[in-house]
Amino acid sequence: MMIPKFKLFIVILFVSSLFTSNLSNASTNTNPKDKVLITILRYVLTQGHYHPKKIDDAFSEKVYHTFLTRVDPSKRYFLQADIDEFSQYKTKIDDQIKNEDLSFFYLVYNRLMQRSEEAKAYYKDILATKFDFTKNETFDIDYEKAPYANNVNELIAIWHKQLKFNTLVHLDDKLIAEEDKKKEDSTYVKKTFNELEIEARETTLKNMNEYFERVEELTYSDWFSTFLNCISEEFDPHTTYFSPSLKKRFDISMAGKLEGIGARLQKKNNYTKVVELISGGPAWKAGELEVGDLILKVAQGDGDPVEIVGMRLDDAIELIKGKKGTEVRLTIKKIDGTIKVISIIRDVVELEETFVKSSIVTKNGKKYGIIHLPKFYISFDEQNFRNSATDMAKEIERLKEEKVEGIALDLRNNGGGSLKTAIEISGLFIEKGPVVQVKYRDKDAIVKKDKDPKIQWNGPLVVLVNELSASASEIFAAAMQDYKRAIIIGSKQTYGKGTVQSLINLNRYHDLNEDLGALKMTIQKFYRINGGSTQLEGVHADVVLPDRYRYMNIGERDLENPLQFDKVPQATYTIWDNYENFNKAINNSKKRIAANNYFKLIDENAKWLKKSQDDTLVYLNYEAYKNDLESHNKTAEKYKSISEYTSNLTYTSPKYEIPLLKENQDLADKRKAWHKNLHKDIYIEEAVNILADLKLKPSYVLVKN
């Protein structure tokens, strides 16, 4: 579709202050570029999305609620009267989208500008007065359930509690720091509680000033992009609009978000959340940062920490990333609710650590191979061609030379990658046949097959997965499960991402002299060969191993508007029927897990973590706050022994790697660290137990060379 040319009138934004009345007045005039953009977006979404939604009153209500939540997540700007005024558009946004009418957006945007400007006076006045931390007072930080303020006094009361809690956290930090100084120097005279209370309020004031400075840097375009994403993400959480500036920074590998510490970050309400650690990256090597952690503050070395709660993700990333060799100190909130400061030395992600690697373990006189695959990688760089399928085949051959009796393939935290290599790696363990089904909108599913009849490994196979095994990992694990080729062990289910996205340049739909950005849109869906989708359901393990995320919603099901699970016709395939005791080995493992005290403790910890996550009440009385914190930390200490577990198994490098370790001390250190972690890994230990138990039929010959 080609949009006719028009004379473009661009709203000039005075970027030094987002809240000026000039900007507010200018934004009431419909920008022709915005009208074209919303028309193109609607066209592409309805014509190209895998599962297009009807843009009707129900759609309108969802966009309405989502947008209000995005612009005022803590309900500290809008009054109930504002919401009552906005509500006239609750079921009209669908009509406005179709008619290029942006009245709702402009009304909310201008009111947000007004309320934000008013809020500057609130927080400054509040922080000018001493807080009473002896008063018995609580605050529920579950903002979704909280009502909007009916008047300015109620709104100021909300601000008061939020600022009081922020100050209380800073005050506690300062009190602890004073105690530490006294321990280091007995002559040190500690500051009084009142002195520290003043300093804590000053810190909160500084953070709030910086917060509003960052908000003022947001452009009109940023807010409009937020509105457009409330529309696009209603189709599914992976369908996202990229403004021209974001499109320029976008990289399929997300390299920009991995620079510095090697972690992929995501905005979760007001928080910056860790959603992935990259193998070989500094955060992964340091071992203290975990998926699910919330980053609260960022400090450069010994510098003062900057609070990033409420900060734009791009701005937070700019603070976190930095030059190789420099130190960043992160204040993080763990999933158990404890607050911790960790130090990470920035570095580049080491490519070698993202490749396949293997180890040998001996149990009861028999050898078994452990293969770690961090992602399904592929490269077409002629100077350094690597792909996970050819690397996996080589690693299997090396393990066969070691005369291993079974292989455990570790796909935990493997976020996916190349579909082609997932199919080829599946083919290393089965004869030729279907591996996955791929479906476009309104089309029959296409069966993707392994066409090579050669089997690289025909012996016992166990595949380890967890909640963060996604996409291509799920395709491989599902194929191995459907063929009954491997026993799948790990989390109750994998991530559950069974969709494929494509980046669409929106400029192909117009002939303006304007960059309208791009849309990352879901265009395909994956299905198992048994007909079921991996979407939402993921792959359910044959043997469920308790882990700390067991009772939490981690994965696709935790996102807003995910596409649903469904089925297509089953492909034609033959089960790999060469195990003598497949079901018995599964049952034996379940019995071992039920009787294992460490697994019992892990499960108990998981229940406590879920309870902690659901507890949103915080104390504004200092003694009550401190007691609650100490009680929480005391309970967390109870589960410390989980991380101290060690097995009686010893892991070594395969023979081919021994000369390399002698020549390369860096590689030797990395393997030493990996083997140490394997030695403490109760999940790998159970994988080895299953391999030792799993028997092939007497008539079936295991090929070891």
- Is the Cα dihedral 124, 213, 296, 173 positive or negative? negative
Catalytic residue among 482, 542, 547, 681: 482
Alpha-carbon distance values, 210 to 163, 166, 311 (Å): 14, 14, 10
Question: Strand runs (DSSP E) across 65-204, as ranges?
Answer: 138-140
Q: How far apart are CA 563 and CA 534, in angstroms?
A: 11
Catalytic residue among 426, 469, 471, 589: 471
Catalytic residue among 497, 533, 547, 589: 497
In this structure, which amino acid lies at residue 218?
A: L
Tell which residue, 368, 390, 366, has the closest CA to residue 377: 390
- Which residues have CB under 8 Å from 338's CB, separation 6+? 632, 633, 636
For the beta carbon of residue 319, count every other beta carbon within 10 angstroms: 20
Q: How far apart are CA 183 and CA 63, in angstroms?
A: 55
Q: How far apart are CA 522 and CA 441, in angstroms?
A: 10
Largest CA distance in the chain: 84
In which residue are the tokens 């992600």 written?
349
Extract the tokens encoding 521. Answer: 């849109």
**DSSP secondary structure letter of residue 214:** H
| Catalytic site includes residue 497 | yes
Alpha helices by DSSP H, 596-657: 597-614, 622-638
Q: How far apart are CA 528 and CA 627, in angstroms?
A: 51
Residues 195, 197, 200, 201: what is their CA dihedral angle, to the nearest 10 degrees?
-110
Contact 475, 424 (CB under 8 A): no
The Cα angle at residue 608 between residues 604 and 611, in degrees rounded to 5: 145
| Helix, strand, coil fractions of the chain, as percent rounded to 5 | 45, 15, 40
Q: How far apart are CA 109 and CA 115, in angstroms?
A: 10
Extract the tokens encoding 201. Answer: 């309020």
Extract the tokens encoding 584. Answer: 């018995």
**DSSP secondary structure letter of residue 18:** T
| Catalytic site includes residue 676 | no
Contact 340, 350 (CB under 8 A): no
Length of the chain: 705
| Catalytic site includes residue 482 | yes
Residues assigned a catalytic role: 471, 482, 497
